[in-house]
A and B are shown apart, each in its own frame.
Chain A
Amino acid sequence: MSTPYAKLPGWVDYGLIPLINVVVAFLVAGLVVLIVGENPFEAAVILVKGALGGGQNIAYTLYYATNFIFTGLAVAVAFHCGLFNIGGEGQAYVGGLGLSIVCLSLDTTFPWWINFPLAIVATALFGALWALIPAYLQARRGSHIVITTIMFNFIAASLMVYLLVGPLKAANTMAPQTRDFLPGGQLPKLNFIFDALGMTVRSAPFNVSFLLALAASVFVWALVWRTRFGYELRTMGFSPEAARYAGINESRIIIITMLISGALAGLMSINVVMGDQHHVALDFASGAGFVGIAVALMGRSHPFGIIPAAILFGMLYQGGADLSFEMPEISRDMIVIIQGLVILFAGALEHMFRPAIQTIFASLSPRSVGIAAKAEAR
């Protein structure tokens, strides 16, 4: 009998199956570590210790997680509408351009708490603008958003190189980056939280952007599940035909969704630039936009799933730094593999273990998978 995908209890659907998928992804990643000639268990211990072994480490983990919450939310919002925004990387990068305009012109004039909201507006605006053209092309000209957003990542990279070696470059350095922002362009750290908890943090870039990321998560939750627009957006995602039949304006939803998605990706630049580096440098997004895809898939595109998924990838980033120090063979590129495996098992192969789990549940209690209920209905 091949009628899979019957209804399972909620905790299996939203808890057990995603968990199994992620565990399998990590097991395969362990195989790669084995091929490289290292012990995957030792690697895992070093990784977890590096990510969570002390206030300093946890603060770094949360700093990286902040990036991935933003980019994960960006991908998730588009997913709900049936759109696949691979352009988070470029949108975040161009968001940094908006940020540089605010910080370079106002960091001497205003304190950070005035520049921070201005930076939110600027980064969201620039990120959204970078998503606008692919969105327009998808909505009105039918060109595939996946390809156009990828192309816009490449175009963003060229544009930023041009600006950072040319107009935006600081006069007194050779490096292709803007001048360092003065205190008006620097966000305060949140490390005192760890001090209060009795842990020591020497210098970690964990900053108030984390609170912004949490606020953005609540915003996305409210937008997608508690507004009329969110309802239209999800209808589009489930069935474009149904949305059309219900009189929902397709191109309007596509364009607004992509603008929100791009804006969320753009916000990510605040954490890196104002929170840590204090200047806009080449390739500062360093792949966070792509990690967002894995985070969104792992978190089932729900903010409450995205936050733990982002923290997990934050652990991989922070712990991965320690790992590459102890095991030089396993560089940061290992995370790219894990990312790919998570996307494969939590995304493309999400139904792989479903038939087996269903069989187990059916044999344990037929009622829980709805088989008995169906028989009664007949």
Chain B
Amino acid sequence: MNSYMVLIQIADATVRVSVPLLLAALAGLYSERSGIFDIGLEGKMLAGAFAAGAAAYVSGSAWVGLGVAIIVSIAMSLVHGVASISYRGNQIVSGVAINFIASGSTVILGQAWFQQGGRTPSVSGAARFGDIALPGANAIRPIPIVGPIYSNVISGHSIIVYFAFLMVPFTWWVLFRTRFGLRLRAVGENPAAVDTAGISVAWLRYRAVICTGILTGVAGAYLSIAQQASFVKDMSAGRGFIALAALIFAKWKPVPVMLACLLFGFLDAISIRYQGIALPGIGKLPAQLMQALPYVLTCVLLAGFIGKAIPPRAGGVPYVKER
């Protein structure tokens, strides 16, 4: 039973660490399906995390924090949109610029406003998204096997966790069952055809990057006011890039994206748990090896041992109306 509880704890940790990856990857899904590559997920998430931490501390409300995070993140998405849609700039270069601007300005503004070396002050109570116990979690807990799964893995997360997992079917529905989704996918494959049908390519792509901004904002808020209690310098720690890798690994489809993020989350949970613990038969692994593991596995998975990932055909190509 003891090893079963270990499994439950790992599953619980997996859910927690997968959430920012999942939100960021779904964010990237909207943008990339519309033909706008977005390497700036990382920066938008970081800016969102800072905005959430700062606004939640100042206002004392987690919801205000979330709202400000979304606004800031959308604003940065629009910068990326202006550069890559209106001015037909290089989308990768624009995304990299967003990452640097976010990384630098969060620290500079954090230091200027709060004088804590670029951190935001810790928040608690209503300024943070607390864990929610689902109905009956305590009643079911004693039941073997099922009880711990329900009360530890499914129940007891913050509201953003449930939102993130509900976004998976919702995104699927939007992309594959609505007119907006059909057009969004079409504009990523063949913008000229969409244009011929009398639909604005630019406006569609702008709406897609706004969706990206909303979700990266939520992901950022999760980092600073749900998972942690304050913003810390560079706290996104490459998650935006891993989310991008998950997106490619999942071939730009919502449900596989969730599974890929859970896989990366699981690896992360394992590496956190087994840092510096001796494994039977292998001996003690260096902590740095475990820290590098998610990054190494990202490369291994991206190396395409799962079949070739074919990106949206018009991805990364600015649309020119007249030739």
A positions within 8 Å CB-CB of B:
2-3, 32, 35-37, 84, 86, 133-134, 137, 141-144, 146-148, 150-152, 154-155, 158-159, 161-162, 166, 290, 293-294, 297, 329-331, 333-341, 343-344, 347-352
Out of B79, B96, B104, B289, name the residue touching A333 (CB < 8 Å): B104
When A142-B304, A143-B299, A161-B288 are in contact, do A334 and B104 touch as well, CB less than 8 Å? yes
Question: Interface SS of chain A: helix, strand, loop or mixed?
Answer: helix
B244 at the binding interface (Cβ < 8 Å) = yes
Closest residue on chain A to residue B80 by CB atoms: A348
A150 to B43, CA, bound (A): 14
Q: Are B303 and A143 touching (Cβ within 8 A)?
A: yes
B-side contacts of A134, CB under 8 Å: 299
Main secondary structure of the interface of B (DSSP, over half): helix
**Which residues of chain B from 90 to 114 have a CB within 8 Å of any chain A CB?**
90-94, 96-105, 107-109, 111-112
Pair count A-B, CB < 8 A:
151
Which 10 residue pairs are nearest across A and B when measured between Cβ atoms? A340-B100, A336-B104, A348-B94, A340-B101, A337-B104, A348-B89, A344-B97, A158-B292, A143-B302, A162-B288
Check if B289 sits within 8 Å of A151, measured CB to CB.
no
Distance in angstroms between the alpha carbons of A147 and B242 in the assembled complex: 8
A344 near B302 with CB under 8 A, answer no
Q: A330-B108, A347-B97, A348-B94 are in contact. List 9 more A-B contacts (CB 8 A).
A: A32-B108, A137-B303, A142-B309, A148-B302, A337-B105, A340-B104, A347-B89, A348-B93, A348-B97
Query: What CA separation (Å) do A35 and B238 show in the bound complex?
Result: 28
Closest to A2 in B: B322
Determine which of B82, B93, B304 lies in contact with A347 in the assembled complex, contact meaning CB atoms within 8 Å. B93
Query: Can you pick out 6 interface pairs between chain A and chain B where the beta carbons lie within 8 Å of each other?
Result: A141-B304, A331-B108, A343-B93, A349-B87, A349-B94, A352-B87
Instruction: Assess whether A348 is in contact with B90, with CB atoms less than 8 Å apart.
Output: yes
Q: Name the CB-closest residue of B to A33.
A: B108
Q: Does chain A have a CB within 8 A of B291?
A: yes
Q: In the complex the two chains form, is B112's CB within 8 Å of A290's CB?
A: no
Bound CA span A299–B322, Å: 31
In contact, A337 and B100 (Cβ under 8 angstroms): yes
CA–CA, A329 and B118, complex, Å: 10
User: Closest CB of chain B to A313's CB: distance in Å?
Assistant: 13
Query: Within the complex, what minimum Cβ distance (angstroms) separates B127 from chain A?
Result: 24
Is B298's CB within 8 Å of the partner chain A?
yes
A-chain residues with CB within 8 Å of residue B298 when the two chains form the complex:
147, 151
